Amino acid sequence: MSIPDENRISETSAWLQRTSQDMRAAAHGLRAEPPLLDDVVFHCQQACEKALLAFLIWHGIPFRETHDLSEIGAQCIEIDPSLEPFVQRVTPLSEYVSLYRYPGGPEEPSPEDTSEALNATHSLSQAILDRLPEEIKG
């Protein structure tokens, strides 16, 4: 997907807004009684994916549709190598796009895995925001 220059700010902002919505959904799932840990980690994966895609869009880098955070992250690292530790930390979240979403698999992640997913997501999202201009963050 490639975005013309005149749309970069609005497209990047739109992806960041979706990132924020997924982070809100994760926080909401955590507050449920009992917590919806499977939903929390799913939304963490989605937030990471969308934050990384926002970064690619801002830099005008085309990408293919995938949920593989390693693949998307590698493209981001090519632009800014300082993102590597953040991408490495969220790469394991790729499996959360489907691991707990369907019958027959594990029921839910552990509280420890959920906590790590949330922390990694917040760290990556902040790292991406720190590397984007203020006018996009809206």
pTM (two decimals):
0.93
Residue 117 lies in a domain: yes
Domain of residue 111: give its range: 5-132
Q: How many residues does the chain have?
A: 138
Domains of the chain: total:
1
pLDDT of residue 134: 84
CATH number at residue 123: 1.20.120.330
Q: Is the separation of the CB atoms in 37 and 109 below 8 Å? A: yes
pLDDT band at 127 (very low <50, low <70, confident <90, very high): very high
137 lies in some domain: no
Tell me the C-alpha distance between 9 and 111, whole Å: 37
For residue range 25-64, list pLDDT tens digits in order. 999 999 999 999 999 999 999 999 999 999 999 999 999 9
Nearest to 58 by CA among 82, 80, 90, 43: 80
> Is the confidence at residue 6, as pLDDT, over 70?
no
Print burial letters for 23-38: b (CB count within 10 Å at least 16), e (below 16). bebbeebbeeeeebbb
Helices and strands of the chain, counted as H and E runs = 6, 0
